[in-house]
Structure 1
Amino acid sequence: MDYIKLIEAWKLEEKNGFEGWNFSHIAHRMMEEPLPWDYDKIIRHNLNADDRLLDMGTGGGEYLLTLNHPYKNTFVTESYEPNFKLCQSQLTPLGIDVRQVFDDHSLPYEDNLFDLIINRHESFDIKEVYRILKPDGLFITQQVGGLNNKELSKFLIKDFKEAVSSEYTLDHCIKSIQNQGFIILESKEYFPTVKFFDIGALIYFAKIVVWEFPGFSVEKCFEELCQLQSIMNNRGYVETKEHRFMIVSKKLK
């Protein structure tokens, strides 16, 4: 194994840029097991043209725009500065309301404003969601559970400290949503397998998902990356287990 060439290639991968929430750079170099539900179909089934829609943590608005929802009825939040600027340049000119939000406990909207709030992999305060949602309005979320990539994180990162508790599960989330005054219409949980077909793709991934791989760098984790490269050479891939759950809930009157 030529370690000098490896580290040079890996450091180049580490420097690759990332915009919005678009993993196209490594899409052909990894494979994610499909979830047993279709977030997009769930959203479209529950979305009406005259609904006021809020997409929490929209990223760069990539998914939102595929819905083709009337722009005047479309609102988004985003906290990450580069993504917020991207939303301002691409969504605001369309007439979509874009807000930068740093505090889940204080959303910049009036009470009972939205018919549908969607949230894919974004944190939320269920009290605020309840406040800004109309009676009979729907809150649909797909979340990353607390066991997501946990074993891989522990392997790569020395003295790993979890940013998200392993107890963050479907049952935990359902209880908090129900306690706030929602009824659960649908819910599911799954642990899909993700396979990386080269270590460079894993490096790119780990540098983006910094909360799961805190302090990750090629230099700091070189020994562990070489161990994974050996596994890759023998098996053709390195795999990790993700953790996903989804909830469709309705605000009681």
Structure 2
Amino acid sequence: MAQTIRNHNTRTFEDLIAEAAAAPVDGWDFSWLDGRATEERPSWGYARAMAARWARATAALDVQTGGGEVLAAVPQLPPLAVATEGWPPNVARATALLHPRGVAVVADADEPPLPFGDGAFDLVTSRHPVQTWWPEIARVLTPGGTYFSQQVGPASVFELVEYFLGPQSADVRGRRDPGKARAEAEAAGLQVADLRQEKLRTEFHDIGAVVYFLRKVIWMVPGFTVEEYEDKLAALDEQIRTDGPFVAHTTRFLIEARKPLRSS
């Protein structure tokens, strides 16, 4: 999210809500929030690191590619480049972005099995997957192949989640734990080469930014609608106008895992 903030709080609550409720939320492009919200970025620079790995690959797969925005920015693609996506509007968007670059976009329900043969790819990447099916990742990797992924960590943006839903249990707050990801990767036969986590400051500067975010990231407050949460939205709008931006904290972790070479 961009760092230059414009003051939208001179506009009415109703105007901000109507604008955010009407904005399209297909794809994984958050540019609508430019000037309205900020989010610190992880220090490891996922897009740059991903691009470097794609440049070295011979056959690469991007799982749950969203609208293809991250992959479309990769400067150099391998001879075989494939992406999967499960949500039909994103499949169409990714196809339009990636087909001109020679990337095959496969509509896939994001459930096992992946629609590829064993050992099909020497690189698999995924940015913010909803779920990682580790046995399938291991199956489609060649021996010596790599899985590289930035993922949402535990209790990410939970200040906002708990504002709307109330306190969450320790079990819910502990989901997406990087330690669990390591254990699952190793159980699938992969060797974890890198695992890092960071907590990052996120700010929402007007109520429209909150509405847009919750409409786009639908698992944060499942079933979110403006109508159902109108009273809480109105109270939060007043809080932002009085006290300044609503502050939350995003958590991210980076994981890189390799499939061992076959023993001779």
Runs of at least 5 residues in structure 1 that lack an aligned partner in the other structure: none
2:256 match: 248
Given candidates 77, 86, 96, the residue that maps to 2:84 is 77
2:188 match: 180
Paired residue type of 2:64: G
Given candidates 125, 129, 133, the residue that maps to 2:141 is 133
Report SS of the residue matched to 1:218. coil
The two structures have a TM-score, normalised by structure 1, of 0.90
How many aligned residue pairs are there?
250
Contact 2:201 2:250 in 1 (8 A): yes
Contact 1:104 1:124 in 2 (8 A): no
2:201 match: 193
Partners of 2:14 and 2:256 in 1: CA distance = 45
State the Cα distance separating 1:135 from its structure 2 match.
Answer: 0.5
2:27 match: 20
Contact 1:71 1:95 in 2 (8 A): no
Partners of 1:9 and 1:180 in 2: CA distance = 47
Taking a change above 3 Å as real, the CA distance of residues 103 and 40 of structure 1, as seen in their structure-2 partners, is closer
Paired residue type of 1:117: V
2:38 match: 31
Paired residue type of 1:12: E
1:53 match: 60
State the Cα distance separating 1:28 from its structure 2 match.
Answer: 1.6
Partners of 2:171 and 2:218 in 1: CA distance = 10
The two structures have a TM-score, normalised by structure 2, of 0.86
Partners of 1:128 and 1:165 in 2: CA distance = 26
Contact 1:157 1:221 in 2 (8 A): no
State the Cα distance separating 1:167 from its structure 2 match.
Answer: 3.0
Could you tell which deviates more after superposition, 143-152 or 23-32?
Answer: 143-152
State the Cα distance separating 1:26 from its structure 2 match.
Answer: 1.0
1:217 match: 225
1:112 match: 119
Taking a change above 3 Å as real, the CA distance of residues 163 and 89 of structure 1, as seen in their structure-2 partners, is farther
2:8 match: none
Partners of 1:71 and 1:132 in 2: CA distance = 17
1:121 match: 128
Taking a change above 3 Å as real, the CA distance of residues 190 and 59 of structure 1, as seen in their structure-2 partners, is same
